[in-house]
Amino acid sequence: MKPFEIADGVYSVGVTDWNIRDFHGYSTPSGTSYNAFLIIDDKIALIDTVKHQFANQFLDNISKIIDPGKIDYIISNHTEMDHSGSLPEVMHRVGSNTPLYCSKMGHKNLPLHFRQNWNYHPVKTGEELSLGKKNLVFLETKMIHWPDSMFSYLKEDGILFSSDGFGQHYAGPETFTDETSEDIFAHAKKYFANILLLFAPRIKKLISQVGDLGLTINTICPDHGLFWRKNPEKIIEAYLKWCDQVPEKKAVIVYDTMWKSTEAMAEKIAEGIADEGIYAKPMHLRNCHRSDIITEIMDAKAIVVGSPTMNNNLFPTVSDFLTYMKGLKPQDKIGAAFGSYGWSGEAVKQINNELTAMNIEPVDPGLRIQYVPEQNGLDTCHAYGKKIGQMINDSTGC
């Protein structure tokens, strides 16, 4: 990524990671970017850095605009290593006594990351930093998605530097979201579902607080992906919708299979659900990445989980997925369990236990079929799907 000017004296100096395909368990088939920003005024400020392995490219980008040694202030919106990893190299170039602005929790976290006694300046919501003609306002955004997270707002240009808020794991030739298709919202939705869903109530409250401050937002610049320049309110509205987690008439059937028996059950259950007028999507755990499944689940009313029993336990991919989903705490769902088994059949009960631990109430004890389902068994699966579909209709008022 070459540096470019976003607004008068405001530059994007981040880097593109074209080749990353897994971001701590989240699939990134389109890569990602680590965005950072340089503001040139009477004083010069750098907002965020990039992943450690891109430090040289990052400093080269800055050098194309100014000598890094002329930077007066560094702002760390978030201490996670994809945004702070290059701080040691940056501090070495600009001077270790350069003021480093961060949230109060950032002040706690940064020394634990880097073991450096830099010139920290912890700030709280509403504090300002004058750069001359331009002024930065800091907004604490705790748990969106780390305790140290904060936004920085450039008043005169109406630019919100939103850290991990409103981002997408996307790398492409475009700079702004209006330069690409509406598919960018799919990337933003996946990001929300897998990174921020757990914090949905906090995000909704934060958006309300930002609204109360009366900030004029012309551009939103997240630390990943493209920038929201035209109609930035569209992504804010999308976040409010995703925060509410209002379910649609939709069921996601998540499963794995050993000898196709659980798969045959999944397809018949999906067929039964669909016969009740519900969108039903079977997703095989070794063909669909768990982060894509979570994205589908975010606006689904029903989560139907199937597993064969293996060594008296869940199939490993199913266990992995349930652990992943538990951490994200999806709300307002109904659950169901099914599976084929040989001689014991504990998996269905274990699925129900996991769903219950997530406050997802199973519709019943679940459906088990021993070995290969015959026609009667497949008919039972179809009926089970119809039952789930009827419950979805009843619960969504349709």
- Our answer to whether residue 224 is catalytic in this structure is yes
From the candidates 169, 224, 289, 382, which is the catalytic residue? 224
Give the helix, strand, coil percentages of the chain, each rounded to 5. 40, 25, 40
- Our answer to whether residue 145 is catalytic in this structure is yes
* 3-class SS of residue 305: strand
**Token code pair at residue 49:** 């850095």
Specify the residue for token string 């690409």.
Answer: 180
From the candidates 145, 169, 187, 289, which is the catalytic residue? 145
From the candidates 17, 26, 41, 78, which is the catalytic residue? 78
- Our answer to whether residue 24 is catalytic in this structure is yes
From the candidates 164, 223, 276, 296, which is the catalytic residue? 164
- Our answer to whether residue 78 is catalytic in this structure is yes
Ordered DSSP codes for 232-267 = THHHHHHHHHHHHT--EEEEEEEE--SSSHHHHHHH
- Our answer to whether residue 324 is catalytic in this structure is no
- Our answer to whether residue 187 is catalytic in this structure is no
- Our answer to whether residue 121 is catalytic in this structure is no
The answer to whether the beta carbons of residues 329 and 357 sit under 8 Å apart is no
- Our answer to whether residue 169 is catalytic in this structure is no
Residue 311: which residues within 8 A CB-CB, separation 6 or more? none
From the candidates 48, 80, 140, 267, which is the catalytic residue? 80
From the candidates 17, 41, 48, 82, which is the catalytic residue? 82
The answer to whether the beta carbons of residues 251 and 280 sit under 8 Å apart is yes
Phi, psi of 313 (to 5 degrees): -140, 175
Amino acid symbol at 48: D
CA dist 316 and 257 (Å) reads: 11
From the candidates 11, 34, 153, 191, which is the catalytic residue? 191
The answer to whether the beta carbons of residues 362 and 353 sit under 8 Å apart is no
Positions marked active-site: 24, 78, 80, 82, 145, 164, 191, 224
